[in-house]
Amino acid sequence: MSESDCLFCKIVTGEVPAEIVREAERTIAVRDINPQAPTHVLIITRQHFTDAVSATRADSKIMDEIIREAHEVAAAEGVTETGYRLVFNTGTGGGQTVFHAHGHVLGGRGLEWPPG
Ligand code: AMP
Ligand code: ZN
C-alpha cells in the first residue's frame, strides 16, 4: 500500500475524520473506532512507517515518544492506577491490519493473559 492510500496518513492530515484525544510534535492519539476496552486509544506516528520496528530502525527516539504519549493518555483516561496494556501488533500474524506504525493503549477493564 502506498502512503497516499494509507488510512492513518489520512487521519494525520485530517482527510479522514477521527476523534483525536492528544497531539504531540511527532504523534497523535486517536480513539479506536472499534474499542476493545473502555479506554482504547491509538498512538499514531505523524510520519509514515510500516510498523513499530520500521519506525524505531529509522528513528531511534520515536518509540520512546510513543510510550511516553501512551502514558500521558492513560493518565488522562484515569487508568494508570488500575493498569493498562500497550500493544504493537506487528505483521499480519501479529494481528496488524493497518500498516502504519501505532501503539494501542488499552485499559479500564481487567485484561486477560494470554491474549487471543
Ligand atoms: P492493528 O490491527 O494493530 O493494525 O490496529 C488497527 C486499529 O485501527 C484497529 O484496532 C481498528 O479498530 C482501528 N481503526 C481502523 N480504522 C479506524 C479509524 N478510521 N479510526 C480509528 N481507528 C480505526
Ligand atoms: Zn501511513
Residue 20 Cα to ligand 1 midpoint, Å, equals 13
Is 3 in a helix, a strand, or coil? helix
CA of 85 to the centre of ligand 1 (A): 16
Cα separation, 46 vs 52, whole angstroms: 13
Q: Can you give the pLDDT at residue 74?
A: 98
Q: 4 falls in which pLDDT band (50, 70, 90)?
A: confident
Measured from the alpha carbon of residue 100, the closest ligand is 2
Per-residue confidence band for 3, with pLDDT thresholds at 50, 70 and 90: confident
> Where in the chain are the domains?
3-107
Mean per-residue pLDDT over the chain, rounded: 97
Q: What's the whole-model pTM score? A: 0.97
End-to-end Cα spacing for the chain: 27
> Domain 3-107, what fold?
HIT family, subunit A (3.30.428)
Q: How many CB atoms lie within 10 A of CB 31?
A: 15
Measured from CB, residues less than 6 Å from any atom of ligand 1 are 7, 16, 18, 30, 32-34, 42, 89, 95-98
Closest ligand (CA of 12): 2
pLDDT at 99 over 70: yes
The set of catalytic residues is 102
Helices (H) and strands (E) counted in the chain, each on its own, are 3, 5
pLDDT tier at 1, thresholds 50, 70, 90: low
